[in-house]
């Protein structure tokens, strides 16, 4: 039994080391501003230097971006709610596949899954000449879908840690 315990201990230590190596360094968000959008049903935290813009009309959205002083390699983030786009109340995975079918997309871009606001989320990566674009889709309720689009102006394929921290701060509000 000692051999089994020792072996399990080694495996657990190895798993802990592997897990900690994959976890990105945390971004300190303690001084960040809170943005609460009751009309769109979400709240998030963002760096205090970021600019916040809003669009109204048929497609309401919030646009967050780094200040102009950040230089040409800025990143922008747009958050919008597509109201009534999921009238059948499909899961987000089913809804996304249904959208691809409706649009007759022959070769869909790669997707992964994550969680935003405690809900399953589809992540779509679009490779573009001017930098990657990430689209996140999650259900706000049975018929509305929250979309977060992040556009990077640099060719690196990994989302920067600041934007990962903003995404992880999103909560859905009623």
Q: Are 137 and 147 in contact (CB under 8 A)?
A: yes
3-state secondary structure of 16: helix
Provide the Cα torsion 77, 87, 124, 65; round to 10°.
Answer: 0
Residue 10: predicted pLDDT: 37
Q: What's the longest Cα–Cα distance across the chain? A: 68
Which residue(s) pair with 35 in the sheet?
44
Tokens of 139: 């259900």
Question: What pLDDT score does 71 carry?
Answer: 64
Contacts of 63-67 with C-beta under 8 Å, sequence gap 24+, read 64/35, 64/166
Q: Are 64 and 75 in contact (CB under 8 A)?
A: no
pLDDT for 70: 61
Is residue 92 classed as helix, strand or coil in its secondary structure? helix
Q: Kindly give the parts of the chain with pLDDT less than 50.
A: 4-24
Q: What is the pLDDT of residues 132-167, one digit of tens each?
A: 889 999 999 999 999 999 987 776 667 888 889 999
pLDDT at residue 69, rounded to an integer: 73
Domains and CATH numbers, the chain: 29-172 (3.40.1000.10)
CA atoms within 13 A on the CB side of 129: 0
Instruction: State the pLDDT at residue 59.
Output: 81
pLDDT confidence of residue 128: 77
Question: What is the CA 121 to chain-centroid distance, rounded?
Answer: 8
Length of the chain, please? Answer: 174
Helix or strand holding residue 94 (H, E): helix 92-102
């Amino acid at each position: 039994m000692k051999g089994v315990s020792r072996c399990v201990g080694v495996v657990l230590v190895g798993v802990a080391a592997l897990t900690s190596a994959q976890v990105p360094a945390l971004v300190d968000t303690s001084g960040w501003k809170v943005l609460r959008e009751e009309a769109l049903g979400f709240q998030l935290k963002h760096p205090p230097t970021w600019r916040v813009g809003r669009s109204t009309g048929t497609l309401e959205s919030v646009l967050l971006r780094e200040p102009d002083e950040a230089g040409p390699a800025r990143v922008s983030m747009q958050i919008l709610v597509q109201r009534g786009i999921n009238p059948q109340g499909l899961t987000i995975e089913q809804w996304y596949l249904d959208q691809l079918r409706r649009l007759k997309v022959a070769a869909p871009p790669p997707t992964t899954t994550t969680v935003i606001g405690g809900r399953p989320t589809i992540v779509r990566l679009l490779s573009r000449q001017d930098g990657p674009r990430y689209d996140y889709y999650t259900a706000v309720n049975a018929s509305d879908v929250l979309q977060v689009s992040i556009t990077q102006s640099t060719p690196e394929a990994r989302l920067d840690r600041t934007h990962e921290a903003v995404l992880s701060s999103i909560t859905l509000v009623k």
